[in-house]
């Protein structure tokens, strides 16, 4: 050890073993603010011609099946405005994995409208759409019927905000509402339980669980219309016990004839009596003890 001139030891600097030199703190660039999502369709570009070609081609296939009253040009324009907003919002929020306008025309708009003949023939004027997501099938059906009242149910907040934006932007406020909640919550509300003429559901789980969510919302004689793919018979056979336990009956399995959707079918269940009060059960109970 070194010593000072007066003989006292000189403190030595402590070795900084195993520690890397501290690098200067990097300057972190601020995160740029995202542009606000559009709320006015007038600010959005028009849809390309291929969208209209695909849409009109599918409508020709539906002609003769849609019951009394064709879909007007004004109604098609409102459906197109919905698509324009969907494309704009889809840049920031995943509303649809389908992004090509022509594919949206077929797999969203036309697919939704395949239920129109069923609802018109049955005289449906009010319905709930469960799990609306980007607005399909609820919005096109509400526009085309036109529904006296419709409720789009979407529990994901950002998707529900999108739906509310579309309703305001397209002038549908007043007869079309959004519920950012779950079907179980609505089924416990006397304003909704047993009060609706139809429930629509597209890509909302297996039929056995779907009837438990939907039938409590229907009045007796009301219809559940569920979008399924071929072969749907095994799934429907497995759900037969649940359908009867909830006081319903499968009345029809309707084939879809729109080009590009030939593997789709619509399962129609009629409510035949009051749903037992214990349904729908909590989601955890449904998973443990499916009907």
- Nearest alpha carbon to residue 141 among 66, 253, 210, 65: 66
The model's confidence at residue 5, banded by pLDDT at 50, 70 and 90, is very low
Q: Is residue 7 part of a domain?
A: no
Q: Say which CATH number the domain at 194 has.
A: 3.40.50.150
Tell me the pTM: 0.85
Q: Is residue 28 part of a domain?
A: no
Mean pLDDT of 107-122: 95
Q: Is residue 211 part of a domain?
A: yes
**What is the number of structural domains in the chain?**
1
Q: Is residue 82 part of a domain?
A: yes
130: β partners: 153, 201
Q: Is residue 149 part of a domain?
A: yes
Rounded to the nearest 5°, which phi and psi values hold at 283?
-55, -40
Q: Is residue 6 part of a domain?
A: no
Q: Is residue 16 part of a domain?
A: no
pLDDT in tens, 194-205: 999 999 999 888
- The burial class, CB within 10 Å (0-12 / 13-18 / 19+), for 124 is buried
pLDDT value at residue 64? 62
pLDDT of 219 strictly over 50:
yes
Q: Is residue 20 part of a domain?
A: no
| Alpha-carbon distances, residue 35 vs 42, 91, 124, 267 (angstroms) | 17, 11, 40, 42
Which domain, by its residues, includes 247?
Answer: 44-288
pLDDT in tens, 159-202: 999 999 999 999 999 889 999 999 999 999 999 999 999 999 99
Asked whether the beta carbons of 112 and 136 are under 8 A apart, the reply is yes
Residue with tokens 């409208």: 113
pLDDT in tens, 44-89: 999 999 999 999 999 988 876 655 558 999 999 999 999 999 999 9
């Amino acid at each position: 050890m070194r010593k000072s001139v007066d003989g006292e030891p000189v403190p030595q600097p402590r070795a900084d073993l195993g520690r890397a030199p501290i690098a200067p703190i990097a300057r972190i660039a601020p995160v740029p603010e995202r542009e606000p999502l559009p709320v006015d369709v007038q600010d959005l570009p028009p849809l390309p011609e291929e969208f209209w070609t695909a849409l009109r081609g599918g409508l020709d296939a539906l002609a003769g099946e849609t019951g009394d009253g064709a879909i007007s040009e004004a109604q098609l324009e409102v459906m197109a405005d919905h698509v324009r907003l969907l494309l704009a919002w889809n840049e920031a929020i995943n509303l649809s994995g389908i992004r090509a306008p022509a594919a949206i025309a077929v797999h969203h708009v036309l697919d939704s409208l395949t239920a129109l003949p069923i609802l018109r023939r049955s005289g449906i004027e009010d319905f709930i759409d469960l799990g609306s997501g980007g607005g399909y099938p609820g919005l096109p059906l509400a526009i085309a019927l036109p529904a006296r009242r419709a409720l789009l149910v979407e529990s994901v907040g950002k998707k529900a905000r999108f739906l509310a934006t579309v309703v305001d932007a397209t002038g549908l406020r007043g007869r079309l509402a959004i519920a950012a909640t779950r079907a179980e919550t609505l089924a416990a509300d006397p304003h909704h339980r047993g009060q609706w003429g139809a429930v629509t559901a597209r890509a909302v789980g297996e039929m056995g669980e779907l009837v438990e969510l939907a039938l409590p919302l229907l009045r007796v004689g009301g219809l559940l219309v569920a979008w399924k793919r071929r072969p749907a018979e095994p799934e429907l056979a497995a759900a037969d016990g649940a359908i009867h336990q909830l006081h319903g009956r499968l009345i029809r399995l309707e084939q879809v004839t729109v080009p590009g959707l030939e593997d789709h079918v619509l399962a129609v269940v009629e409510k035949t009596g009051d749903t037992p009060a214990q349904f729908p059960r909590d989601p955890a109970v449904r998973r443990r003890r499916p009907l």
